[in-house]
Amino acid sequence: MEDLDKLKSDLSALIVGAADLAGLEAARIEALGRNGRITQLLKGLGQMDAEARREAGQKFNVLKNEIGAALDARKAQLEDSTIDARLAAEKIDITLPPRSQRSGRIHPISQTMDEVIAIFGEMGFTVAEGPDIEEDWYNFTALNIPPEHPARQNHDTFYLDAEKNGAPLLLRTHTSPVQIRTMQNTKPPLRIIAPGRTYRCDHDATHSPMFHQVEGLVIDEATHMGHLKGCLVDFCRAFFGIDDLPVRFRPSYFPFTEPSAEVDIGCSFAGGTLTIGAGEGWLEILGSGMVNPKVLENCGIDSTKYQGFAFGMGIERIAMLKYGIPDLRTFYESDVRWLNHYGFAALDVPSLVGRARP
Ligand code: DAH
């Protein structure tokens, strides 16, 4: 039988001498691996008689436990020194300047939409939506713009090859068809705004073939022109952030409203600079009116019981005015330098809440 003391000192020397975890693993295999020296001893127990086996078994197990404990202790030592070595080698230089964080910007069109939605949302309006590809009935006829009506010519409509209900489909020229869809699908009272994309065959510094509008519609039993005025005056002042902004209602014509009014805000053009809220000038910003009873009837709403008002405005136009953006085409050029200049940080939306009412 092997000299157990010699075996113990040999294995202990291997363990203590292991320079790293790989060396220690080799020592473990040498001692306790499948063919390790202690393993061999334990395997040999089977050949002994009962008396010798009990005696040797105890000794072998003591040795096995001692060597196991020595392996654990050396492993802990080696791991500690690995971490110590890493800590010593990896020094963080906290005097280095941090890398700058690049944050995205909200596009002025999205920002303006959010602002409009926030302001009307606080007045109790909900958001309604409709399709960009529209039927003639919703875009024109139901809005009291029948086929021969001259207003159709002003819309520069993009027609599609496909037809529905005997008329070509088209890209909606305004958000007003959402009024029709809402009135057909929902019982009054109604109070909705409909932001979205609109399309006209037009392209210059102030027109784009695709642009955005927001539509508004209020239908109730007792809604009158005073409500229209109050609502739009409040909106204009909240949107432009000027509590005493002059707002003017100028008689106009739209087939879907009667009477109709365009809304102007006070401004000055002095010295070639536009200043909103000052001076003697006026700028048109939106169209509005009392919903034409014919439109109510087209949607199956009893015009002797219900009435209301509607309005529509161009998002790009009010964004250009509020944020001093001179050329409409830049909205769609996807120039990151432009967006860094004109874009917005997230969650930066004004509110009616807490605004002083003049
Ligand atoms: N749809 C009109 C346009 O695109 C804007 C408009 C004017 C909408 C008056 C309305 C309204 O709802 O009452 O020019």
130-162, pLDDT tens digit by residue?
999 999 999 999 999 988 888 788 789 999 999
**pLDDT value for 357:** 42
Shared domain check, 50 and 142: no
- In this structure, is residue 136 part of a structural domain? yes
Q: Where are the alpha helices (DSSP H) in the chain?
A: 4-17, 21-32, 37-44, 50-89, 108-122, 136-139, 177-185, 225-240, 293-298, 315-323, 336-342
Does some domain include residue 138?
Answer: yes
CA atoms within 13 A on the CB side of 344: 17
* Ligand 1 lined by 211 (C-beta under 6 Å): no
pLDDT value of residue 356: 45
Cβ contact 70:12 at 8 Å: yes
Q: Is the peptide bond before 293 cis (omega within 30 degrees of 0)?
A: no
> Which range, of 6-10, 40-44, 99-103, 304-308, averages the lowest pLDDT?
99-103
Q: How far is the CA of 207 from the centre of ligand 1 (A)?
A: 16
Q: Which CATH number fits the domain that encloses residue 180?
A: 3.30.930.10
For 337, the domain range is 108-342
Atom 6 in ligand 1: residue holding the nearest Cα: 312
287 lines ligand 1 (CB under 6 A): yes
Nearest CA to ligand 1 atom 8: 312
**224 plus 277 within the same structural domain:** yes
Say yes or no: CB of residue 215 within 6 Å of ligand 1. Answer: yes
Assess whether the C-beta atom of 312 lies below 6 angstroms from ligand 1: yes
Ligand 1 centroid distance, CA of 124 (Å): 21
How confident is the model over 291-297, as a mean pLDDT? 98
Number of domains observed in the structure of the chain:
2
Q: Is 314 in the pocket of ligand 1 (CB under 6 A)?
A: no
Calculate Rg over the CA atoms of the chain.
Answer: 41
What is the reported pTM? 0.72
